[in-house]
Amino acid sequence: MAADHISKPYLPLMLRLKLCMGNFFIRFAFRYDGTINRRLFDLLDRKVEPNSTVVIDNIHVSSSDITLDPSRNLWFRLFVPRTTNNGGDGGGSALPLIIYYHGGGFSFCGPDSKPCDDFCRRLAAKTPAVIASVNYRLAPEYRYPCQYEDGFDTLRLINAQNYKILPSNVDLNKCFLAGDSAGGNIAHHVAVRACQKSQELDKLVIVGLVAVQPFFGGEERTQSELRLTKAPVLNVEGTDRLWTMFLPEGADRNHHAVNVEANFESIDMKNVKFPSTLVIVGGFDPLQDWQTRYAQGLKKRGKQVELIKYPNAFHSFYGFPELPEFPLFIKDVRNFIQKQSTLVVDKNTQLNQNAQESTLTEQFVG
């Protein structure tokens, strides 16, 4: 039965127990004064160290932590895939770079949280791509716009220091921004800043954005929010609380950080050189109406957008490889990354051909 007719999907018993336990810890980690009991949440948030021993489908994915600004604990976990057959990076070919922003309602988790680490490692192997998973400051201790500042500053610092911190086979002409949930929100806003401040990014070329169930909203209650009150992981009570902890004091949910599509005109989105975008939506995600509006709003303003909906997927389904939607999701993301990367190669090839023809013409005329 489709998500339009029921309010929650069928899930295996063990997965339901995992989700119930997670919801329990998160609910009790919220304090009445709007802060978070970090000590309690840390009981659930298992951290893992970087390592170089994980092999996924014959792809060896190593990881390491790179510090960018210790004063605000800004760092990223770097995932580098290498084939186990020849020891070369990604089979010896140049790899795209994905700068990834994790989910967690702006308030929870980090690149070293086990689900985030597992997900990025799998994505690096399956794409393949080098992934920089960003550790940004968390709300409510650090409110808007700290997360966006950390996200964009990561781009600037990688742009300035790439030769020191990235493997030699990364192709900076194939840079993608990506994120899930709140990370998808951050990826969008960082992409806008990158377009507006392109002069600060002379080496990184952002060619695509992957927004996985991005965390958007507004004062309005959409049909999906009203219908999916019993959906796993997320409901409007929880999202309202997360927005309150993230936004500046006194701001409502029509703030441009939240109600993104409604504020496109204020940033003249039609004239922003925004990258091609993939938006992933789930049929049991209460936020799906906001995500669909976002994709439609980009398309209306002349941007290249691909909207993919998995009818039985709930919010954060991508964190559970045992679900049937997971391989479909990985395939769709891989196809998008490879398609945009191919377009870059074709464009560069054409530019080189034009340059050669121009040189020959000048020599002939001379």
**Using one digit for the tens of pLDDT, what is the confidence trace for 74-133?**
999 999 999 765 444 444 589 999 999 999 999 999 999 999 999 999 999 999 999 999
Could you identify the residue written with the tokens 């201790």? 141
276 is catalytic: no
Q: What is the mean pLDDT of residues 316-326?
A: 96
Band of pLDDT at residue 190, cut at 50, 70 and 90: very high
Predicted confidence (pLDDT) at residue 358 exceeds the cutoff of 60: no
Q: What is the pLDDT of residue 164?
A: 87
Please give the model's pTM, rounded to 2 decimal places.
0.92
List the single range of 234-238, 338-342, 350-354 with lowest mean pLDDT: 350-354
Q: What is the pLDDT of residue 349?
A: 57
Q: What is the pLDDT of residue 352?
A: 55
Inter-residue contact 51 to 63 (CB < 8 Å)? yes
Q: What is the mean pLDDT of residues 62-73?
A: 97
Single out the catalytic residue among 181, 224, 276, 316.
181
Predicted confidence (pLDDT) at residue 146 exceeds the cutoff of 90: yes
**66, 330, 195, 117 alpha-carbon torsion, rounded to 10°:** -20
113 is catalytic: no
Single out the catalytic residue among 102, 188, 255, 315.
315
315 is catalytic: yes
Give, to the nearest 10 degrees, the angle between helix 182-196 and helix 146-165.
70
Q: What is the mean pLDDT of residues 210-228?
A: 98
Q: What is the pLDDT of residue 87?
A: 46
Question: What percentage of the chain carries pLDDT values higher than 70?
Answer: 90
